[in-house]
Structure 1
Amino acid sequence: MAMRESVTGPGRRAGRLALAGLIAMGWCGSVWADSHPSRALGAPVKATAPAYVQYTTREGDSLYDIANRYLDGEADWATLSRLNHVPVPRRMPAGIVLRLPAGKLKQDWETAHVVATSGPAERAFGKNPYVPLTTNAALVEGDRIRTGPNGFVTLELPDHSFVTVAQNGEMDIGTLRRIRLTGAGDRVFDLHRGEVESQVTHATKHDDRFQIRSPSVVAGVRGTRFKVTYSGDAQTTTVAVLDGAVGVDPAAHNGRDLAPLPGVPLQASEQLVKARFGNVTHAGGAVGGPVQLLPAPALAQPARVQDGKTVAFDIVPAEQAAGYRVQIARDADQLDLIRDLRVSEPHADFGDLPDGTYFVRIASIAADGLDGLPQVYAFERRQVGLDVSAGPRAGTHDYEFRWLVGRTNVDTRFRFVMGKTADLSQPIVDRTDLSGGQLVVSDLPAGVYYWTIVAEQFENGRFYETSSAVRSFTIAR
């Protein structure tokens, strides 16, 4: 009983006085700062991570219970007792505010799930060998991911953030945890090669941490969409910010890890890169300053159905663009990527793709290697397959034209156009009412003729049209 009285009476008042003193020293919200930032002459202020968090006791709590539930272990009760000037009662009343050391808070492992994968993609845990990676796989801290040409992987985190590893990439899940007491997430990804694009849900806790680390920089966010690319050959890291802001710091100096700790605000970073800006950092150099991203280019024919033998796009040439990046995904958010091309000219050819609805994202590439702002278009891949042939009928002055459409399960109408010039601007035959696959033109005089077949289909509420190449033949008498 005497022990309980010392907590609810004078001891509790002492705790409140201690708390008031802590507030005066800089406590904010539910996190205390262990020390004040120091300012060197002419140097920027560098904030330190919070050292303590608060816990308000519930009826029946003991220091043993709190230490076992929220700290490294039950043995940390002594730390709590010393830190809070609280004796060690068997049970404590509700409402006492205690300080808990942030560095000892218990963390629970979290799981990331693969929501999309395409092409060569593998995972390995620790030093185990790589195995193929499939959709719906669960990954944890310590897992490694690597992709090959046209290989892509997108992970979804428990807070619905997304991380996409692009082709020819290599990334480790360095930290994937949540602090049991505060609910703050700690997520660190180590990029060794290639590109990682992240869509990060806005942080709700003061000490939430999300970082992409390359060998040269650490990019941290509170909620944004951004890309980090590391070129091992050039030893260069680029950061491009599409939304929000990203704090960029050096990864290490003289062997010392300089990555910001949880709770350090982005404003304390060496460089704060805001939306529509990026930066470039070279090996051994200082973190690059913000550079404005190039504006998004435009697609030349955005509404065109991709009905050719290959899927190809023409881009309206953009000023200052040293090249273009063209990506194809199955979704508008580009989480399910399947193709990725960097081209020096405003034209990209991806070869064949199955029929379906896709989304193409285009961006200009600056001379410093930074991808500019993107533009996304939906497009339809629909190969009709139109084979045509023509030839004279033996013993007559007739010419016979034949055609065959590949998509035979859809009602198709055909148009036959023939003229004396290659542009067919003044046709001498223009038949729009054809349903079969054959037409005979009789009594053609000598000369050179040009012709084409147009196939027209209406399916699922959309009109489709495809034409054969303009061909020519000569009649001599």
Structure 2
Amino acid sequence: MRRLPSSVVRQRRAFAILTAGFTFFIMSPVVRAEAAKVNKAAKPETVSYAAQPGDTIYEVADHYLSDPHDWRVLARLNHVDAPRRLKPGTLLKLPVALLKRDPLMVRVLAASGDAERISKTVPSLPLAEGASLGEGDAISTGSDGFVTIELEDGTHLTLTPRSTLALGTLRRTVLTGRTERDFSLVRGEVESEVEHLTKPDDRFEIHAPSIVAGVRGTHFRVNFDPLATTVEVLDGKVAVGNAETRARATKVKLDEQAPAPESELVPAGYGSVTRGGAVGAPVALLPAPMLAHPAKIQDGPQVEFDLQPVAGATRYRLDIARDAGTLDLIRETRTETPHASFADLADGTYFVRVSAIDGAGLQGVPRVYAFERRRNGVDASAGRAAGARSYEFRWLASRPGVDTHFRFVLSRNEDLGDPLVDAVDISGHRFVVTGLPAGVYYWTVIAEQFENGRFYETAAGVRSFTLAY
């Protein structure tokens, strides 16, 4: 027997480990057959189809049933004695349980950092915007990876760093249009913005090892780690059920008399924590923090934010995105203080999403701010100049190619009040002050620039020196 290449073996083994313990609810023909046996006495749910000119029972079965060999079931149900002759307009009853379920694809809307597709059939590949994924694929992000995928109805799912999401059932039933979309969160966090489901039996579920979250149209987050699973609802409602109970109920669901598994209904503005398999009661989420200086131009070496503290918060989370909807995320951080900084962020317009985290680990309601990153540092120095009691001040703005004027302020006061010198519209990079008496002085220089229709000011820190003659 031909041996598989070692790389393929490793890939398949990794996928098997990744998906171990998860049920994706892709119903096999054997399971469907068992379902048919259990429900044999029950009247099957059907959908009507009007025969078209040239239709035969064989063609109808081939086009609309998952198994074309079920044409016999179709003929028997509709009392068709001549399978090759169907009168146009004849209404046929097609069992819903036998209908073909076409696969659905998802598209990568945005990807940043370390993010890859894991598949059973091909080696792992880095994910890029526009890539297509389907049933059986998985998405994994590294320490700086973000991925947002988009479903055919505009639903979005976003993975943050150190997360893995397996794509389970992605199907649309022909004729009825019913959709089934199941995802399994293996580790980390997924945020979902689900478009409203249009049919009563449409399904959208996020599975984690300890819970199942089912929705009909909402905005919510699921975060899993070995100690706890959290669900936070920002819009709509989410039914959170125990995964083990749900799995048992799924096996029994072949019997239509089986009761639905119990679940906790979590409304908007609330969250739930599951520990040890026990789904927690809904808890109010913390309100969104506010930035202390929302209009600040981020012109320093690092991008820095100060938050107004939120009562009950033990940590804060900040995410940076390229878009206001925070679908194209590029950075995140969590901090125990209401201050956070980000390094190495290029110039541009960005959006920061801020939220507070409570003692149970529930992330609160977010707030999004736009901000401008426009780095422009001012390096300044001072020293004695030639001449009696002369002092020379020098500076340089770090942003090249922009017409820059400077303002120089010198004072005896640390707050620069009652300045001795307040010189404006300086085009050069030096200023000399003479005749200074002995004492302590404070000074700064401010770079003033007008670019793209906006006026910008960048100040060097207040500096001091002492003259003792």
* TM-score, with length taken from structure 1: 0.83
1:288, 1:87 → 2: CA distance?
Answer: 58
1:192, 1:331 → 2: CA distance?
Answer: 27
The answer (yes or no) to whether the contact 1:57–1:93 under 8 Å persists in 2 is no
Distance of aligned partners of 1:144 and 1:349 in 2 relative to their CA distance in 1, 3 Å threshold: same
Alignment-derived partner of residue 456 in structure 1? 448
AA aligned opposite 1:208: D
1:323, 1:420 → 2: CA distance?
Answer: 41
The answer (yes or no) to whether the contact 1:252–1:258 under 8 Å persists in 2 is no
Distance of aligned partners of 1:207 and 1:93 in 2 relative to their CA distance in 1, 3 Å threshold: farther
Q: 1:54 aligns with which of 47, 52, 56?
A: 47
Structure 2 residue matching 1:204: 3-state secondary structure: coil
Q: 1:332 aligns with which of 300, 324, 332?
A: 324
The answer (yes or no) to whether the contact 1:170–1:194 under 8 Å persists in 2 is yes
1:255, 1:197 → 2: CA distance?
Answer: 23
The answer (yes or no) to whether the contact 1:251–1:258 under 8 Å persists in 2 is no
Q: In the alignment, is residue 446 of structure 1 matched against residue 438 of structure 2? A: yes
Alignment-derived partner of residue 308 in structure 2? 316
Alignment-derived partner of residue 113 in structure 1? 107
Q: 2:204 aligns with which of 198, 201, 210?
A: 210
Alignment-derived partner of residue 157 in structure 1? 151
**CA offset at residue 425 of structure 1?**
1.9
Q: 2:231 aligns with which of 225, 233, 239?
A: 239
Structure 1 residue matching 2:308: 3-state secondary structure: coil
Distance of aligned partners of 1:109 and 1:407 in 2 relative to their CA distance in 1, 3 Å threshold: same
Distance of aligned partners of 1:252 and 1:268 in 2 relative to their CA distance in 1, 3 Å threshold: closer
Alignment-derived partner of residue 178 in structure 1? 172
Alignment-derived partner of residue 361 in structure 2? 369
Runs of 5+ unmatched residues, structure 2: 1-34, 37-42
Alignment-derived partner of residue 135 in structure 2? 141
Alignment-derived partner of residue 190 in structure 1? 184
**CA offset at residue 127 of structure 1?**
6.1
**CA offset at residue 134 of structure 1?**
1.7
**CA offset at residue 302 of structure 1?**
0.5
**CA offset at residue 284 of structure 1?**
2.6
Q: In the alignment, is residue 77 of structure 1 matched against residue 85 of structure 2? A: no
Q: In the alignment, is residue 353 of structure 1 matched against residue 345 of structure 2? A: yes
**CA offset at residue 380 of structure 1?**
0.4
Distance of aligned partners of 1:86 and 1:295 in 2 relative to their CA distance in 1, 3 Å threshold: farther
Distance of aligned partners of 1:436 and 1:347 in 2 relative to their CA distance in 1, 3 Å threshold: same
Alignment-derived partner of residue 333 in structure 2? 341
Alignment-derived partner of residue 407 in structure 2? 415
Distance of aligned partners of 1:105 and 1:269 in 2 relative to their CA distance in 1, 3 Å threshold: farther
Alignment-derived partner of residue 396 in structure 1? 388
AA aligned opposite 1:210: F
* TM-score, with length taken from structure 2: 0.85
Alignment-derived partner of residue 249 in structure 1? 241
Structure 1 segments, 4+ long, off by >6 Å, are none
1:81, 1:343 → 2: CA distance?
Answer: 66
Aligned length: 424
Distance of aligned partners of 1:358 and 1:257 in 2 relative to their CA distance in 1, 3 Å threshold: farther
The answer (yes or no) to whether the contact 2:306–2:340 under 8 Å persists in 1 is yes
Runs of 5+ unmatched residues, structure 1: 1-33, 36-49
Alignment-derived partner of residue 228 in structure 1? 222
Question: What is the CA RMSD across the aligned residues, in angstroms?
Answer: 2.5
Q: Percent identity?
A: 52
Structure 1 residue matching 2:62: 3-state secondary structure: helix
Alignment-derived partner of residue 265 in structure 2? 272
The answer (yes or no) to whether the contact 1:116–1:135 under 8 Å persists in 2 is yes
Q: In the alignment, is residue 304 of structure 1 matched against residue 270 of structure 2? A: no
1:367, 1:378 → 2: CA distance?
Answer: 28
1:298, 1:254 → 2: CA distance?
Answer: 40
1:117, 1:395 → 2: CA distance?
Answer: 61
Alignment-derived partner of residue 379 in structure 1? 371
The answer (yes or no) to whether the contact 1:299–1:316 under 8 Å persists in 2 is yes
The answer (yes or no) to whether the contact 1:247–1:269 under 8 Å persists in 2 is no
* Deviation by residue 1:308-364 (Cα, 9 ceiling, x = unmatched): 111111110111112111111111111111111111111111223111100000111
**CA offset at residue 98 of structure 1?**
4.1
The answer (yes or no) to whether the contact 1:166–1:196 under 8 Å persists in 2 is yes
AA aligned opposite 1:316: Q
Structure 2 residue matching 1:114: 3-state secondary structure: strand
Which is worse superposed, 393-402 or 147-156? 393-402
* Deviation by residue 1:12-68 (Cα, 9 ceiling, x = unmatched): xxxxxxxxxxxxxxxxxxxxxx99xxxxxxxxxxxxxx9624123133343322221
* Deviation by residue 1:408-461 (Cα, 9 ceiling, x = unmatched): 322222111111121112211111221211111111000110100111112112
Structure 1 residue matching 2:302: 3-state secondary structure: coil
The answer (yes or no) to whether the contact 2:289–2:309 under 8 Å persists in 1 is yes
* Deviation by residue 1:142-187 (Cα, 9 ceiling, x = unmatched): 1111111121011111212111111110111112222222222221
Structure 1 residue matching 2:291: 3-state secondary structure: coil
1:129, 1:222 → 2: CA distance?
Answer: 35
AA aligned opposite 2:133: L
